């Protein structure tokens, strides 16, 4: 288990843009492994389409940079294969661009 003090320290790494320190921490490795096990080591997007693909990445549903306090929360993590992970990030970019277009239009 992770102590509050250590969690605060890890969240501060993200806030200070020291993402590599976060991603190299044993706490991140531990929570990532918990997410993979919870998802049966399967890509959750492929699974929802009736396909089986082994997990390759663990994705933050709410991005660490905008939601640092959710970075170690199991329910913010999703096991994905690399193509689905790329898609997830492409979609995030789309949302930002669409929002931006709307701002311009109005």
Give the binding site for Zn ion (CB under 5 A): 43, 45-46, 53, 59, 81, 84
Distance CA 45, CA 53 (A): 9
Distance CA 53, CA 55 (A): 6
Q: Which is nearer to Zn ion, 50 or 102 (CB)?
A: 50
Q: Which is nearer to Zn ion, 36 or 59 (CB)?
A: 59
Single out the residue of 16, 31, 1, 29 nearest to residue 68, CA to CA. 16
Q: Which is nearer to Zn ion, 13 or 76 (CB)?
A: 76
Q: Which helix (H) or strand (E) holds 38?
A: helix 26-38
Measured from the CB of residue 84, what is the shortest distance to Zn ion in angstroms? Answer: 3
Measured from the CB of residue 48, what is the shortest distance to Zn ion in angstroms? Answer: 9
């Amino acid at each position: 288990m992770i102590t509050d003090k250590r969690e605060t320290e890890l969240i501060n790494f993200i806030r200070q843009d020291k993402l590599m320190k976060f991603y190299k921490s044993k706490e991140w490795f531990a929570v990532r492994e918990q997410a993979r096990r919870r998802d049966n080591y399967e890509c959750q997007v492929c699974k929802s389409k009736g396909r089986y693909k082994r997990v390759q990445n663990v994705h933050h549903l709410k991005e660490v940079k905008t939601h640092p306090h959710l970075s170690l929360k199991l329910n913010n993590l999703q096991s994905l294969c690399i193509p689905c992970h790329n898609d997830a990030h492409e979609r995030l970019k789309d949302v930002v661009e669409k929002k931006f277009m709307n701002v311009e239009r109005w």
